[in-house]
């Protein structure tokens, strides 16, 4: 087991693509156990043969359609109308827009890219330091995989057999907690440091602006109501909801807003297909590596090691949090879920931890990993848009990371926060 893990890490360090590294690291185990290599395509294709997994490329496509179809821009306008008069109001609107966009995108990277491309330049105009602006976008972008729908939740459910719908419901209150805490953080930091331009608050003007922004964004705001309401109301499954999201986003972008031209549709679909294929290849070969770890009895070995440390579930959760935070710094989210979820979920169940609650702990942990160097995808997106280096970003980012980790501890040790809407 150790040799397989070291080989995988060595291939990562050598710059081998993630999917290829995962597949290559599994091969020595197959050869050692005299398993025919025909098992590789069998396991790879079997891992993709899932109705629930169909939701992943569909949510990617829906997020792309929303980005180019004008939905993101209207959500930005609505968020600014709500919180723009607060100290650091534009920064707070980044977080609020991320919360709104998360209800229909399912992706952290898509959320950070869509919101950052609109609001980082605007924050720069209002005299926000670029490192601060990029930190706000990167940290709030993680809400894209916590507030449902969420593609990592789909992957986790497929791998562990957990209910996708219950995971989606469980993400609502924790996502709200994280979002509000980030809004409070941006407001306090902006007030203390004097960031941004704060317009004078006049209630009549604020209310008039809010009404105008709401009317303009109404159809965009209606999308999460249809998607999430349909799932929670039992009208369609999470996978079927992804189809509804694509159809709705396409209709709004082409027919209503007119920002997607018919000639642009093939390009948008092609871009979504490329993004989806990258993720699906990682999913497939991560399943191959997980298969090899099962042959090596990695789950049993790790379970025995954790049990020898302590039989207390609170200690187990602390160890898992530390472990996943470190993993999230170096490993791609989907690969980490596919490799680690089959190992950790049964151990958590043996400690009496609710499987839905544990699934959310895993997702939130790895979402924080998207905001931590050296491979945090949100950091690269935000730095690219803000035209700054990773080193420039780190000082303001530390404050947001502290807030995110604090929220993670609350979510971990207050299970009712995740399970209140399920029970």
Single out the residue of 127, 191, 89, 139 nearest to residue 396, CA to CA: 139
Q: Name the one residue in this structure whose structure tokens are 């999917």.
A: 19
The Cα–Cα gap between 282 and 289 comes to: 10
Single out the residue of 44, 107, 37 nearest to residue 72, CA to CA: 107
Rg of the chain (C-alpha set)? 21
The Cα–Cα gap between 337 and 152 comes to: 8
Q: What is the pTM of this model?
A: 0.83
- Look at residue 179 in the predicted model and tell me its pLDDT: 94
pLDDT tens-digit readout, 116-143: 888 888 888 888 899 999 999 999 988 9
- Look at residue 7 in the predicted model and tell me its pLDDT: 79
Reduce the DSSP state of residue 227 to 3 states and report it: helix
The sign of the torsion formed by the CA atoms of 124, 184, 383, 264 equals: negative
- Which two tokens mark 377? 């995808």
- Look at residue 406 in the predicted model and tell me its pLDDT: 96
- Look at residue 399 in the predicted model and tell me its pLDDT: 93
The CB-side HSE value for 362 (13 A sphere, CA atoms) comes to: 32
The Cα–Cα gap between 137 and 144 comes to: 11
The Cα–Cα gap between 114 and 44 comes to: 32
Report which secondary-structure segment, H or E, holds 197. none
Ranges of the chain whose pLDDT falls below 70: 1-2, 12, 52, 299, 374-375, 423
Single out the residue of 187, 195, 178 nearest to residue 144, CA to CA: 178
- Look at residue 1 in the predicted model and tell me its pLDDT: 62
Single out the residue of 339, 335, 346, 341 nearest to residue 300, CA to CA: 346
Could you tell me if 399 and 410 are in contact, meaning their C-beta atoms sit under 8 angstroms apart? no
- Which two tokens mark 163? 């209910």
Reduce the DSSP state of residue 207 to 3 states and report it: helix
């Amino acid at each position: 087991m150790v040799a397989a893990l070291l080989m995988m890490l060595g291939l990562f360090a050598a710059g081998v693509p993630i999917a290829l590294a995962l597949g290559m690291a599994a091969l020595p185990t197959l050869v050692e156990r005299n398993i025919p290599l025909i098992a590789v395509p069998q396991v790879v294709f079997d891992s993709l043969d899932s109705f629930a997994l169909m939701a992943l490329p569909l949510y990617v496509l829906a997020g792309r359609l929303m980005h180019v179809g004008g939905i993101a821009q209207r959500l930005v306008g609505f968020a600014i109308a709500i919180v723009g008069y607060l100290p650091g109001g534009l920064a707070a609107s980044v977080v609020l827009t991320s919360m709104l966009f998360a209800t229909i995108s399912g992706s952290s990277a898509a959320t950070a890219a869509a919101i950052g491309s609109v609001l980082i330049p605007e924050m720069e105009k209002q005299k926000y330091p670029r490192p601060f602006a990029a930190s706000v976008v990167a940290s709030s972008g993680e809400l894209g995989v916590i507030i449902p729908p969420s593609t990592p939740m789909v992957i986790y459910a497929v791998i562990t057999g957990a209910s996708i719908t219950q995971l989606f419901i469980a993400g609502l209150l924790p996502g709200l907690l994280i979002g509000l805490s980030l809004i409070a953080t941006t407001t306090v930091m902006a007030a203390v440091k004097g960031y941004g331009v704060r317009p004078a608050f006049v209630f009549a003007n604020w209310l008039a602006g809010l009404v105008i922004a709401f009317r303009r964004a109404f159809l965009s705001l209606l999308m999460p109501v249809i998607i999430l309401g349909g799932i929670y109301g039992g009208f369609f499954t999470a996978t079927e909801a992804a189809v509804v999201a694509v159809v709705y986003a396409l209709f709004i972008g082409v027919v209503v807003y007119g920002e997607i031209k018919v000639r642009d549709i093939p390009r948008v679909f092609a871009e979504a297909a490329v993004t989806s294929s990258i993720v699906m290849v990682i999913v497939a070969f991560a399943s191959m590596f997980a298969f090899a770890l099962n042959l090596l009895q990695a789950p049993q070995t790790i379970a025995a090691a954790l049990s020898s440390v302590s039989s207390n579930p609170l200690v187990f959760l602390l160890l898992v949090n530390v472990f996943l935070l470190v993993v999230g710094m170096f490993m791609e989210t989907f690969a980490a879920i596919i490799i680690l979820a089959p190992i950790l979920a049964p151990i958590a169940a043996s400690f009496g931890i609710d499987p839905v609650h544990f699934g959310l702990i895993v997702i939130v942990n790895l979402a924080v990993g998207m905001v931590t160097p050296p491979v945090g995808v949100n950091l690269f997106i935000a730095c690219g848009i803000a035209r700054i280096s990773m080193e420039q970003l780190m000082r303001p980012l530390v404050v947001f990371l502290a807030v995110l980790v604090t929220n993670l501890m609350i979510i971990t040790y207050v299970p009712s926060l995740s399970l209140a809407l399920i029970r």
